[in-house]
Structure 1
């Protein structure tokens, strides 16, 4: 019995336990490999993301370097532009000073020419009075000579009738002859003086004509000077208002449609009109600050309407409406600092149309405000 028990113990099989242990170890190894693989994947993904981020950072750095280079180039160009503008401003300032000096000289010449003209007019008036007096004296002398000649002829006839010519009568005849000769000599002197006065008068007329030409030339120079400031004013006004198709420059006038400033049938400025008029006032102040005080300029504001009549208690006709609109603009410009003595408001109603047609387009063209920088 003990022998069979020993055989049973020796016959115990350990292989299933070994297999279980080996399976467990294999599963642990597989698990460890799986963890290692997942870790390797996560690490590779992280490294790949870092490489991508690094590439993006490098691209951004290159873009920033390029932008910095462009900014430096733009800065260099801006500095060069500033230098060019400074040189242009210096040149313009020199030209402006030269123009002002020329204008001062022209004004002085104009003042001198005006004084000479006034003196010449006074001299002409004096010479005219002298000529009239000499002509009157000549007429009197001629009348007296004719009277003396008549008396002489009468005395000669009387002496011829007398058979006995006394010494006293001969002396009277001689005296009358000497008086007649003296009167003729005096008449010749008066005629010579009259001719000299006429020659001087003609010379004064020529000088007056020359002074008139000089005066017209000086006035033309002043008009040309104002034309330069008008062009500058229109250019700056066009720049601040923008390149709008509905705002035009016609000749020496700046034409603005009424709809941009007023509602239909009223003289009340719209909110958008205040911004436009502020730009107009600022531009006018900038330009006119450079106009010499000798130029007597004025800014004309002219109101125009279309031909369709209006009849309200406030505006009985288009005259009142166009004038009220021009006055409203002038009053606002005065508030914005423009001197009142440099502004003029005019209303023309429908009587100066730009388009004589009867279409809505023609009516819109004729409803306008015209701005003109001109001489007083």
Structure 2
């Protein structure tokens, strides 16, 4: 016994280091394996979360594009469909990654329960993304239908505008033709009236003779007021009545030759000089005097058988002078009655 103890002492202390190293190595390997598993899970989780963020960004961009979809034509619609397809592919890819991650987490057992909860949250996010994607697709379909209806309405409006343009061109052509015919008719009537006016003035020259106080100026027959009226009066004198009677006889003779459809009238214009009317109980100004003289001539012509509907009276006072020099001769020229054969 004593010799055995001596032998153990001679052999030295027991070497336990190799066993300790093996145990430590095994422990480190186990820890490394767990860390690797954890890091791998973290990697896949990060990928999944990154995919979710990207999907959310694409979804937000897609929703923003939807607000401008009504203003886009087929190219914008195709791009939107492409974006929706890309979003759907991203969701399907995320679903595949989710399924893969679930399988890996299931193999890890109880040590991955915390990660499983996060994966569940990620799954809920992905489900919401799928729901949003479905809503976006529904909105796209609705907008497509609305665009189709809008295009149909635009086609109908374009067709109506074409019809309206056609009718407008036809109407313009008809109006132009009517205007041309009217101008021709008016020109014919004016020419015809001018012929009768020329004949009328020629006959009047023969009837009234070459008098200085009765003359033809352009298309008007001019009587100096002194031939017809006393100064400041609108009552026809006997000489004026005789002169107007010859005038009326010639007018009736010519009027009988003028076609009934020619709308002619004889306009009687009264004019005075600039001398103001003072203390007259009948006429407050030259307006009243010139108008009263024109009316007196019209009434006399009606009494001579000229139809009233063929006559018109107007008073111009002193505001249409023939001579503005202010001399005695100029004042006499401006006091006048003008007769003009014209059309209504």
Assess same fold via TM > 0.5: yes
- Quick one: which of 181, 194, 201 aligns to 1:214? 181
TM-score calculated relative to the size of structure 1: 0.54
Structure 2: gaps of 5 or more residues = 1-67, 93-129
Q: 1:146 to 1:335 in 2, by over 3 A?
A: same
- What SS does the corresponding residue of 1:295 show, helix, strand or coil? coil
Any idea what the Cα deviations from partners look like across 1:296-326, whole Å, max 9, x if unmatched? 1111111111111112111111111111111
Any idea what the Cα deviations from partners look like across 1:168-207, whole Å, max 9, x if unmatched? 99x9889987986686476456535534532442343244
| Number of equivalenced pairs | 233
Structure 1 residue aligned with 2:270: 303
Q: 1:181 to 1:268 in 2, by over 3 A?
A: closer
- Quick one: which of 321, 325, 331 aligns to 1:353? 321
What is the CA–CA distance in structure 2 between the aligned matches of 1:174 and 1:335, rounded to whole Å? Answer: 89
Q: Could you tell me how far 1:158 is from its partner in structure 2?
A: 4.6
Structure 2 residue aligned with 1:111: none
Structure 2 residue aligned with 1:294: 261
Structure 1: gaps of 5 or more residues = 1-142
Q: 1:145 to 1:214 in 2, by over 3 A?
A: farther
Structure 1 residue aligned with 2:87: 161
Larger radius of gyration: 2
Q: 1:156 to 1:298 in 2, by over 3 A?
A: same
What is the CA–CA distance in structure 2 between the aligned matches of 1:178 and 1:322, rounded to whole Å? Answer: 79
- Quick one: which of 239, 244, 250 aligns to 1:283? 250
Q: Does 1:240 align with 2:212?
A: no
Contact map agreement 1:152 1:176 (CA 8 A) in 2: no
Query: What RMSD over aligned residues (CA atoms) do the two structures have, in Å?
Result: 3.5
TM-score calculated relative to the size of structure 2: 0.58
Q: 1:237 to 1:178 in 2, by over 3 A?
A: same
What is the CA–CA distance in structure 1 between the aligned matches of 2:69 and 2:159, rounded to whole Å? Answer: 19
What is the CA–CA distance in structure 2 between the aligned matches of 1:224 and 1:153, rounded to whole Å? Answer: 73
Q: Does 1:323 align with 2:291?
A: yes
What is the CA–CA distance in structure 1 between the aligned matches of 2:271 and 2:80, rounded to whole Å? Answer: 85
- 1:169-188 pair list within 5 angstroms: 184=151, 187-188=154-155
Structure 1 residue aligned with 2:194: 227
- What SS does the corresponding residue of 1:249 show, helix, strand or coil? strand
Q: 1:304 to 1:180 in 2, by over 3 A?
A: closer
Contact map agreement 1:145 1:183 (CA 8 A) in 2: no
Structure 1 residue aligned with 2:281: 313
- What SS does the corresponding residue of 1:371 show, helix, strand or coil? strand
Contact map agreement 1:260 1:272 (CA 8 A) in 2: yes
- What SS does the corresponding residue of 1:299 show, helix, strand or coil? strand
What is the CA–CA distance in structure 1 between the aligned matches of 2:264 and 2:306, rounded to whole Å? Answer: 13
- Quick one: which of 318, 323, 344 aligns to 2:312? 344
Q: 1:183 to 1:293 in 2, by over 3 A?
A: same
- Quick one: which of 296, 303, 306 aligns to 1:335? 303
Any idea what the Cα deviations from partners look like across 1:11-46, whole Å, max 9, x if unmatched? xxxxxxxxxxxxxxxxxxxxxxxxxxxxxxxxxxxx
Any idea what the Cα deviations from partners look like across 1:120-158, whole Å, max 9, x if unmatched? xxxxxxxxxxxxxxxxxxxxxxx9965998898767655
- Quick one: which of 165, 168, 173 aligns to 1:198? 165
Contact map agreement 2:270 2:294 (CA 8 A) in 1: yes
Q: Could you tell me how far 1:329 is from its partner in structure 2?
A: 0.9
Structure 2 residue aligned with 1:58: none
